[in-house]
Structure 1
Amino acid sequence: MSHNPPETTLSDEQIREAVERLLSAGTLPPIVQAGHPALRQRAAACDGQLSPDQLDRLIELMRQVMHEAPGVGLAAPQLGIPLQIAVIEDQYDVDPEAAALRKRSPLEFMALLNPRYTPLGTEQASFYEGCLSLNGLQAVVARPEKVLLEFHAPDGSRVQREFSGWQARIVQHETDHLNGVLYVDRAQLRSLSSNAEYAARWAEPGIGKAREGLGFGDGPVALP
C-alpha cells in the first residue's frame, strides 16, 4: 500500500475510557460514518490496553451492532474506537446463483485482533461492495481472490488462516478499516451507485451489466 494514513492520536488511556463509555451506555452505539477521524487513522495494535473482561464485552457489543445493522463484519473504528479489533460473520441466506458466482459460503463468527493479510496467487475478483460506514452506497472493488490472514485470537494465540472467495473479501474489507482505508479508496468510482439505483439497474450476481452501463474497468485501483 502506498497510502500513509496517520496513526491514531488517542492514548491507551483515552482508548480505554472510550471503550468503557460504550460498554456502560446500556444501548447499542451508532456506527460512525465517513468523515469521522477514526475511520481515516491507523488503529492502535491491541496489546493489553483492555482487560480480558473489557475485551470480551467489547467483542460481544460489536457482534450485536453487526447483527443489528445488519452486516457481515464490523471494525472497532466504526464505533469510534481506534483499536485493531474486527468481528466477522456471514450466515445469511443468499441467492444460490449469486453465491456460486461470488464464491460466498457461510462464515462462522470470529473476532480478529491485529489482522494482516497477504494475497495468495494473482487472481482477482471484482464485485459490488458496501460498507456500514458509507450508508446507502455501493461500488465495485477488485480484490485478491485468496489471502492468508494472520491475526491474534481474543485469548492471545496467534492464528494463520487462508480465506478465499467472498470470505476473503470480508476479511480484507475489515482489515483495511484498521489501517484507515475505506472500500471507496480501492473502488472503481464510476461504478459508485446508490442502493436504490443498484437495486433498480445493476442487481445481478456479476458486474457485467453495470460495467457496460456505467463505463468502468474491473482491475485493482492503485491507492494514492
Structure 2
Amino acid sequence: MTADAPRTPVVAPLPREAIAAHVESVLAADLPPIVAAGHPVLRRPAQDYEGELDDGTLVRLIATMRRVMHAAPGVGLAAPQIGIPLRIAVLEDQGTADPVVAAARTRAPLPFTVLINPRYAAVEDKRDAFYEGCLSVPGYQAVVERHHRIEATYTQPDGRTVTTGFQGWPARIVQHETDHLDGMLYLDRAILRSLTANQEHHRWAQPTVDEARRGLGF
C-alpha cells in the first residue's frame, strides 16, 4: 500500500495591483503577526517577485520583515510567514558564543541577507542532522537532515542577481527559508520520532543530536 503524494495547491498568481494593496494592508500593522501552520499561505508556492512593489514599499517590507524576525526572535523569516505570497526572505544570525556548539554545527555568524527569488543546489552529498524550530510552528522542534554545503542564486534588493556559497548553519537557514517559499514546512522533512516540545528540549540541547538519537530511538 502506498501513501498518496502530498498535493501542492495550484493558485493563480495575484495581479500586480492586488499584491501591492495586500502588502500595504500588512504593513499597516506596526509589527505584523506571524501566521501559524494551518494558514494556506504557508502551503502554496510563493510567486516570484517581479517588481510588483515600488522601491520605497520594497524597502519598507524588508525593514518590517527584519523587525518581525528580531522580535520573534528568529534567524530567518519568509514573506509568506506574514501572509505575503512573494518569494522574499530575510536572514540574520549572530552565531553562538559556545565554541563547542559552533564547531559541531559549523555555526558562523550570518550577516543580514535578503533573498529575492532564491533557488539553491547542493554542492556535495554531505548532510547534517540537527534540531530545528519554526516561528510558524511554535512550541516544537525536530531533527532535520539538510545539505551541509549549498550554492544559492538570488536577487538582492538593488536588483543584482548573485550566486553565493553557504555551509553549515547558514546553509541550513537558507534551505529552511527557501522551503517556506516553496510551500513547505520543516516538519515535511523532519525525522518525526525526534519531535520534541520546547519544555522537553532541554534534555537534548547538546551540540549534536547523538544523545537524542539514543533517548528517542531515531
1:82: which partner in 2? 85
Once residues 142 and 154 of structure 2 are traced to their aligned partners in structure 1, the CA distance between those partners, rounded to angstroms, is 27
Residue among 10, 17, 24 paired with 2:21: 17
User: Offset at 1:48?
Assistant: 1.1
1:219: which partner in 2? none
Deviations 1:72-115 (A, max 9, x none): 00000000100000000001444221111000011100111000
1:113: which partner in 2? 116
Deviations 1:41-66 (A, max 9, x none): 00010001111111110000000000
Once residues 70 and 33 of structure 2 are traced to their aligned partners in structure 1, the CA distance between those partners, rounded to angstroms, is 13
Contact 2:96–2:102 at 8 Å: present in 1 too? Answer: no
1:43: which partner in 2? 46
SS of equivalent residue, structure 1 residue 67: helix
Code of the residue aligned with 1:182 in structure 2: it is L
Once residues 126 and 110 of structure 1 are traced to their aligned partners in structure 2, the CA distance between those partners, rounded to angstroms, is 24
1:215: which partner in 2? 217
Greater shift, 87-96 or 53-62, is seen at 87-96
With over 3 angstroms needed to count, the CA separation of the structure-2 counterparts of 1:144 and 1:4, relative to structure 1, is farther
Deviations 1:106-162 (A, max 9, x none): 110011100001001100000000100000110000001000000000111111000
User: Offset at 1:10?
Assistant: 5.4
Code of the residue aligned with 1:31 in structure 2: it is I
Gaps of 5+ in 1: 217-224
Identity of aligned residues (%): 55
2:206: which partner in 1? 204
With over 3 angstroms needed to count, the CA separation of the structure-2 counterparts of 1:94 and 1:135, relative to structure 1, is farther
Residue among 178, 183, 189 paired with 1:180: 183
Gaps of 5+ in 2: none
Q: CA RMSD for the aligned pairs? A: 1.3
User: Offset at 1:17?
Assistant: 1.4
Contact 1:148–1:163 at 8 Å: present in 2 too? Answer: yes
With over 3 angstroms needed to count, the CA separation of the structure-2 counterparts of 1:142 and 1:95, relative to structure 1, is same
1:159 and 2:168 equivalent? Answer: no
SS of equivalent residue, structure 1 residue 140: strand
Once residues 69 and 18 of structure 2 are traced to their aligned partners in structure 1, the CA distance between those partners, rounded to angstroms, is 24
Contact 2:95–2:110 at 8 Å: present in 1 too? Answer: no
Once residues 165 and 93 of structure 1 are traced to their aligned partners in structure 2, the CA distance between those partners, rounded to angstroms, is 13
Query: How many positions carry a matched residue from both structures?
Result: 213
Contact 1:5–1:179 at 8 Å: present in 2 too? Answer: no
SS of equivalent residue, structure 2 residue 46: coil
SS of equivalent residue, structure 1 residue 160: strand
User: Offset at 1:3?
Assistant: 5.6
Residue among 39, 52, 57 paired with 2:55: 52
Contact 1:8–1:44 at 8 Å: present in 2 too? Answer: no
1:123 and 2:130 equivalent? Answer: no
With over 3 angstroms needed to count, the CA separation of the structure-2 counterparts of 1:7 and 1:16, relative to structure 1, is farther
SS of equivalent residue, structure 1 residue 98: helix
SS of equivalent residue, structure 2 residue 138: coil
Code of the residue aligned with 1:167 in structure 2: it is P
